[in-house]
Amino acid sequence: MDFSVIASNWKFLLLQGLIGLGPFIGGTLRLAIPAILLGFALGIFVGLARLSSTRWVRAPATVYVEFFRGVPLVMVIFWIWFIIPQLLRLPIPEYGVALTAFVIFEAAYFGEIVRAGVQSVARGQVEAATALGMTGAKTMTYVVLPQALKNMVPSLVTQMIVLFKDTSLASIIGYVDLTKAAQIVNNREIKPFQIYIFIAVVYWLCTYSMSLFARRLERRAA
């Protein structure tokens, strides 16, 4: 089998598709990294809201999580794609649409991880912090969350890998990530087997190194 198509196109695929340096606004990493950070940040609020003792905080968070976990991501991307221009009355670039969709969608999943993490912290820790005179917010920031974070590491990394793979769906609305770059190259070269196997290997190298890193992190944390 002739793999010369990769030799002549790997620069475009990796620089434009994976990193985002090139004629198009794109890049898998340029979408995945902010989506992970913002999705996790929003997820902390969602997760804590799910555990709130106030019903008016807990109920909307529960609906939020159940809703987004029951709907395909593709559907959410289309929603944002149609709704944001309607709401703001101005065209939004694909990057903005994709990032918004990923953050909103993944926050539901990150929220569940945060909730499970917080619930895994022993009750006595909270009681001890209260006995020391700490306020609720201080207990959360200095006592509960640091310990919860340690317990969350495995599922957090799993979710990051899922999100990293999910960014390929941004190509549906025309964002030039690795998958879209492969489509562009394939339209010119018509070598689908070689091109898609190549990007499969690139995705695999990224996700596999993430899971290796996670395993090391777990060993150090344990």
Partner 1 sequence: MSYSFKWSVLWSGQSGHWLLQGLLTTLELSALAWLIAVALGILSGALRTVRFTPLRWAAVSYVEFFRNVPLLVWMFFWYFGVPPLLPRAVQDWLFNHGAEFWAGTLALGVYHGARMSEVIRSGIQSIPRTQFEASVAMGLTTFQAYRLIILPVALRLIVPPGTNESLNLLKNSSVALTISVAELTFQTRQIETYTARAIEALTAGTLIYLVLCLSIATIMARVERRFAIPGLIARVEPAG
Q: Give residues in contact with partner 1 (CB under 8 A).
A: 67, 69-75, 78-79, 82-83, 86-87, 155, 158-159, 161-162, 165-169, 171-172, 179, 182-183, 186, 192-193, 195-197, 199-200, 203-204, 207-208, 211
Minimal distance in Å, beta carbon 132 to partner 1?
Answer: 33
139 versus 167: smaller Cβ distance to partner 1: 167
Determine the angle formed by the axes of helices 94-119 and 145-166, rounding to 10 degrees.
140
DSSP conformation letters of 63-122: HHHHHHHTS-HHHHHHHHHHHHHHHHSS---HHHHHHHHHHHHHHHHHHHHHHHHHHTS-
70 versus 133: smaller Cβ distance to partner 1: 70
103 versus 177: smaller Cβ distance to partner 1: 177
139 versus 168: smaller Cβ distance to partner 1: 168
Minimal distance in Å, beta carbon 17 to partner 1?
Answer: 12
Minimal distance in Å, beta carbon 200 to partner 1?
Answer: 4
Phi, psi of 204 (to 5 degrees): -60, -45
Contacts of residue 3, defined as CB under 8 A and 6 or more positions apart, other chains included, come to 194, 198
